């Protein structure tokens, strides 16, 4: 048996006849053959991309950073809410988002899930706890100069750069649904990663596309994402 997982947005991908790529047991859309000019949308307006494959771990407890630093080192500015940490033993990076003093949200590329889980299981102590909620959150990326306008259409959150700059994380109300919002710009393009509960994932995706039509929102797949990064 070869278990294959799918994201909550699978219905949309199938409807638009996406071609797929597998990332460590999860099917992701590589490309939508009949959707053109996605690259232009990302450059000039806004692109939307399914990033549900991310491994998402919630860390709770005291001394979380100290525990992580046993096996990772920081490679970005320590004053930001969102930071990059590189594994000391393996070749991968994790994204660490500070939700509260004793609560962190970690994103890891699915490709490195096994190594990451092995690290945290062996290094965890009785004051730090983690919960793997990877399957429980749908991830949606909005990237492009109008990405913030799409979010402003559906959320009262103050998305202005002076309030929510690059490398920030917040818990917000989006369409009256709880969401985690990361801002991690890519190649100087404003980029927002939204994580919502899986059971409303397709709903949120569809509504973002609906609200974003006004701004020229265009879905794109892994192939273009790899080009951009």
Q: Which residues bind another protein (CB under 8 A)?
A: 1-8, 10-11, 26, 52, 58, 60-61, 126, 129, 131-137, 149, 152-160, 162-163, 175-177, 197-200, 202-203, 207, 210-211, 214
The minimum distance between CB 1 and another protein, in angstroms, equals 5
The minimum distance between CB 3 and another protein, in angstroms, equals 5
7 vs 218 by CB, closer to another protein: 7
The minimum distance between CB 139 and another protein, in angstroms, equals 12
Q: How far is CA 16 from CA 36, 174, 195, in A?
A: 12, 25, 22
Which DSSP state fits 161? T
Per the DSSP assignment, residues forming a β-bridge with 106 are 57, 96
The minimum distance between CB 25 and another protein, in angstroms, equals 8
E strands, 89-217, where?
93-100, 103-108, 128-132, 137-143, 168-174, 177-183, 191-197
The minimum distance between CB 207 and another protein, in angstroms, equals 5
Check if the beta carbon of residue 70 is closer than 8 Å to that of residue 60: no
207 vs 223 by CB, closer to another protein: 207
11 vs 89 by CB, closer to another protein: 11
Check if the beta carbon of residue 84 is closer than 8 Å to that of residue 93: yes
89 vs 158 by CB, closer to another protein: 158
Q: β-pairing, 128-132 with 137-143?
A: unpaired
Report which secondary-structure segment, H or E, holds 91. none
170 vs 202 by CB, closer to another protein: 202
């Amino acid at each position: 048996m070869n278990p294959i997982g799918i994201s909550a947005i699978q219905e949309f991908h199938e409807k638009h006849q996406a071609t797929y790529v597998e990332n460590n047991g999860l099917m992701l859309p590589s490309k939508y053959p009949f959707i053109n000019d996605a690259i232009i949308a990302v450059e000039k307006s806004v692109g939307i991309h399914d990033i549900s494959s991310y491994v998402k771990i919630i860390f709770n407890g005291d001394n979380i950073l100290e525990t992580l630093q046993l096996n990772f080192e920081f490679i970005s500015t320590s004053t930001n809410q969102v930071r990059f940490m590189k594994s000391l033993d393996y070749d991968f990076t994790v994204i660490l988002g500070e939700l509260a003093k004793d609560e962190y949200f970690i994103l890891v590329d699915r490709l490195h899930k096994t190594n990451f889980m092995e690290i945290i299981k062996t290094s965890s102590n009785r004051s730090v706890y983690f919960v793997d909620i990877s399957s429980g959150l749908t991830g949606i990326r909005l990237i492009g100069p109008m990405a913030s306008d799409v979010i402003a259409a559906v959320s009262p959150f103050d998305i202005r750069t002076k309030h929510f700059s690059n490398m920030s994380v917040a818990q917000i109300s989006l369409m009256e649904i709880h969401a985690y919002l990361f801002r991690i710009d890519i190649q100087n393009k404003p980029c927002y990663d939204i994580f919502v509960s899986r059971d409303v994932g397709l709903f949120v995706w569809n509504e973002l596309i609906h609200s974003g039509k006004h701004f020229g929102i265009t879905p794109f797949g892994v192939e273009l994402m790899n080009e951009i990064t």
